[in-house]
Amino acid sequence: AQSVSQHNHHVILSEAASLELGCNYSYGGTVNLFWYVQYPGQHLQLLLKYFSGDPLVKGIKGFEAEFIKSKFSFNLRKPSVQWSDTAEYFCAVNYLNTGGFKTIFGAGTRLFVKA
Amino acid sequence: EAGVAQSPRYKIIEKRQSVAFWCNPISGHATLYWYQQILGQGPKLLIQFQNNGVVDDSQLPKDRFSAERLKGVDSTLKIQPAKLEDSAVYLCASSNRQGIYEQYFGPGTRLTVT
Q: What is the pLDDT of residue A96?
A: 87
Q: What is residue B33's predicted lDDT score, i.e. its pLDDT? A: 96
In sequence order, which residues have a C-beta less than 8 Å from that of residue A90 and are 6 or more positions away?
A6, A35, A36, A37, A38, A44, A105, A106, A108, A109, B42, B43
What range defines the domain where residue A8 resides?
A: 4-114
Query: Which chain A residues in 15-74 lie under 8 Å from chain B, judged by CB atoms?
Result: 32, 34, 36, 43-46, 49, 51
With H, G, I as helix, E, B as strand and everything else as coil, classify residue A69.
helix
pLDDT averaged over every residue in chain A: 94
| Dihedral pair phi/psi, residue A4, rounded to 5° | -130, 125
- Predicted confidence (pLDDT) per residue in A21-61, tens digit: 999 999 988 899 999 999 999 999 999 999 999 999 999 99
pLDDT band at B1 (very low <50, low <70, confident <90, very high): low
* Domains detected in chain B: 5-113 (2.60.40.10)
Task: Please list every residue in chain A whose beta carbon sits closer than 8 Å to the beta carbon of residue B99.
Answer: 32, 51, 94, 96, 101
Looking up residue A61, the CATH number of its domain turns out to be 2.60.40.10
The answer to whether the CB of B36 falls within 8 A of the CB of A86 is: no
Q: Model confidence at A68, in pLDDT bands (50, 70, 90)? A: very high
